[in-house]
Amino acid sequence: MGTALVYHEDMTATRLLWDDPECEIECPERLTAALDGLRQRGLEERCLCLSACEASEEELGLVHSPEYIALVQKTQTLDKEELHALSKQYDAVYFHPDTFHCARLAAGAALQLVDAVLTGAVHNGLALVRPPGHHSQRAAANGFCVFNNVAIAAKHAKQKYGLQRILIVDWDVHHGQGIQYIFNDDPSVLYFSWHRYEHGSFWPFLPESDADAVGQGRGQGFTVNLPWNQVGMGNADYLAAFLHVLLPLAFEFDPELVLVSAGFDSAIGDPEGQMQATPECFAHLTQLLQVLAGGRICAVLEGGYHLESLAQSVCMMVQTLLGDPTPPLLGLMVPCQSALESIQSVQTAQAPHWTSLQQNVAPVLSSNTHSPEERSLPLLGESPTGTVAEDSLSPLLDRLCLHPAPPICTAVASTVPGAALCLPPGVLHQEGSVLREETEAWARLHKSRFQDEDLATLGKILCLLDGIMDGQIRNGIATTTALATAATLDVLIQRCLARRAQRVLCVALGQLDRPLDLADDGRILWLNIQGKEAAIRSMFHFSTPLPQTSGGFLSLILGLVLPLAYGFQPDMVLMALGPAHGLQNAQAALLAAMLRSPVGGRILAVVEEESILLLARSLAQALHGETPPSLGPFSKASPEEIQALMFLKARLEARWKLLQVAAPPP
């Protein structure tokens, strides 16, 4: 269905008319820089471009008082001195004769985007707007914000479409207190915000920005504040927050729509945030959200004041919404001590309200956990004031090239006819094969496991693997006989290493043991999901039982598989479903969908033939970028499932730092 881009050039009309160092950063060039970036990279032309229309006064009234709307309307006729005097009545706000028109366009753009997504005209999209909105309150402008664009969009989605569960993800570096106030007692809106807080010493200096502000009345637990108490938070810190706080709550909440208050002042180089997250991090955050709400994501621009960083971050988000592979994340995946403390404080505050946090494992903040000052990788070009030097930012952003999508997204190598597999449109049935002699040479070590028909299939699978590693195919699915599954997986591992893959992640489900002759040298990370007990054979070889509850399965993915995958940073993922793998359709699809992010989509799923007719379509859809089906009602992990996860985390976290973050016990 595609991706919408909602914009109107009139939103560049407002600008500061007097000298005010605090407000001068909110300038028209923010929009033009972002739009120019999208155009230069060919992303705008791939979107459905919609020209924003003004929100009506009735629509503004979903959130704002009639008196406040009338006051903003009056600014159209005020002179410069009157505008300046009115602006000084609010905190960090400036008015302009075009403010009312621009602010109505900004709110209207958010409404148009919600309409386009919820009517099925598009799958997702971005409203490129100014002024921003998340600080604005019912009767007050605040922090550059006039009308609360995202809050109005949420109210509109509830009123017009009858939605009962809306998730708002606010990754702007400032707390969106306006959204929090509007939905403080509303259990139909789950509001998550991370923000620079520094124990209350950073704007907007509010105690209700801290982790213990969880909502009021029926809305308790539906406000989730994650305060960053130091600057310098980076990719690992943001990922840890998603994996150990936001996503567990979001899966339990099961939203029908995701709204993103997309502020990019939380990216590297921004003078407001002074954070270290690189633009490609926002591609990963976006893709992690795409497994929710049927992929219905509406992002609305908030802050972002370093023009180059803003433009790059917007491009990263849009290319992910369009379905392009995520680029690799830079740097070590080691959350800092301050981030772990903040995340744990959120988990402590929220655990009484969420089963998904009650079942997780308390983090161990080990002595070798880094603080921002002690990271193995220094903050890039940091000046004594904590800002990032211009001469260090540009070379970094230059490396963040937007990789072209492979010509083929997903391919299937199978002896089962494509029609029988009911593959979704756009998935190719692989016909090519490597030479018979080459196939026989690779199969020689496992000759007893391969019959003639198995060798023919292996040739197709090797050809498919080569296509993925050459960048011609993004990912694929292959079928084998039950007898040949383990041998096929071993051959694929050796082929990856021979083709100079530095790191290969193998997620093996069912009766598939790690090959005995495989060197334990850190190039292969082997996770076997089978049996009844968790076991660790090395820091790169371990196993865990397959959870039977939805809560246990989600904890396995979010609390173990993804932290390991992001920490390992593989070049290739092999996901093997062997005999007695036990995965249901929705579980297999979710696992495949979530594994796409850490590896840029380069996954080869190997499935034994008895399961392929059941799993082929959902696996292909997930690898192709479609949202996986729901796991069903959330059920709490069993004590045995929690114990297995605790056992692994306690022993692996010294090597795999993203495992250190989890919720306290109930």
Instruction: Give the pLDDT confidence of 590-603 residue by residue, as tens digits.
Output: 999 999 999 999 99
Examine residue 8 and state whether it is found in any structural domain, yes or no: yes
* Residue at 262 is within a domain: yes
Nearest to residue 355, comparing CAs of 182, 183, 555? 555
Please tell me the distance from the alpha carbon of residue 574 to that of residue 494, in angstroms, as a whole number.
Answer: 12
CATH of the domain at 193: 3.40.800.20
Classify burial at 385, counting beta carbons within 10 Å of its beta carbon; exposed 0-12, middle 13-18, buried 19 or more: exposed
Q: Is the pLDDT of residue 328 over 60?
A: yes
Structure confidence by residue, pLDDT tens digits, 35-92: 999 999 999 999 999 999 999 999 999 999 999 999 999 999 999 999 999 999 999 9
User: Sign of torsion, CA 136 141 142 143?
Assistant: positive
| 201-239 pLDDT tens trace | 999 999 999 999 999 999 999 999 999 999 999 999 999
Q: Is residue 124 part of a domain?
A: yes
141/424 Cα distance (integer angstroms): 48
Predicted pLDDT of residue 419: 61
Q: At what angle do helices 99-118 and 149-161 cross, to 10 degrees?
A: 40
Same domain? For 389 and 427 the reply is no
Alpha-carbon dihedral sign for residues 296, 234, 204, 95: negative
Q: How confident is the model at residue 383 (pLDDT cuts 50, 70, 90)?
A: very low
Asked, for residue 650, whether it belongs to a domain, the answer is: no
387 shares a domain with 420 = no
CA 546 to chain centre: 25
pLDDT digits (tens, 9 = 90+) for 243-286: 999 999 999 999 999 999 999 999 999 999 999 999 999 999 99
- The H-or-E segment that residue 611 falls in is helix 609-623
Cβ(60)–Cβ(144) below 8 Å: no
Q: Are residues 36 and 93 in the same domain?
A: yes
Q: Please state, in angstroms and rounded to a whole number, the distance separating the CA atoms of residues 300 and 571.
A: 33
412 shares a domain with 300: no
Is residue 636 within 8 A of residue 549, CB to CB? The reply is: yes
In a domain, 338, yes or no: yes
Strand partners, 167: 190, 258
Provide mean pLDDT across the span 377-403: 45
Q: Where are the beta strands (DSSP E) in 322-445?
A: 408-413, 427-429
Between 318-327, 486-495, 512-521, 570-579, the lowest mean confidence (pLDDT) is in: 512-521
Structure tokens belonging to residue 166: 């809306």
Is the same domain home to 580 and 438?
Answer: yes
Cβ proximity of 585 and 614 under 8 Å: yes
Q: What is the reported pLDDT for 403?
A: 53
Q: Nearest Cα to 369, choosing from 332, 345, 337?
A: 337
- Residue 167: both structure tokens together: 């998730």
Q: Of these residues, 135, 174, 195, 581, which one is catalytic?
A: 135
Please indicate, yes or no, if residue 58 is contained in any of the structural domains: yes
Measured in whole angstroms, how far is the alpha carbon of residue 119 from the centre of its chain?
A: 24
Residues 222 and 335 reside in one and the same domain: yes
The angle formed by the CA atoms of residues 562, 188 and 287, to the nearest 5 degrees, is 25
Sign, CA torsion 178/180/186/188: positive
Distance CA 409, CA 125 (A): 21
Same domain, 193 and 225: yes
Q: Look at the chain and count its residues.
A: 666
Residue 486 lies in a domain: yes
| DSSP H or E stretch at residue 166 | strand 166-170
Residue span of the structural domain in which 581 resides: 408-517+568-629
| Number of domains making up the chain | 2
Neighbours of 610 (CB within 10 A): 14
d(CA 122, CA 620): 21
At residue 397 the predicted structure's pLDDT band, cuts being 50, 70 and 90, is low
User: Would you call 541 a catalytic residue per the annotation?
Assistant: no
Three-state secondary-structure class, residue 190: strand
Query: H-helix or E-strand containing 105?
Result: helix 99-118
Give CA–CA dist 534/207, Å, rounded: 43
pLDDT at residue 368 greater than cutoff 50:
no
The average pLDDT across 541-568 equals 97
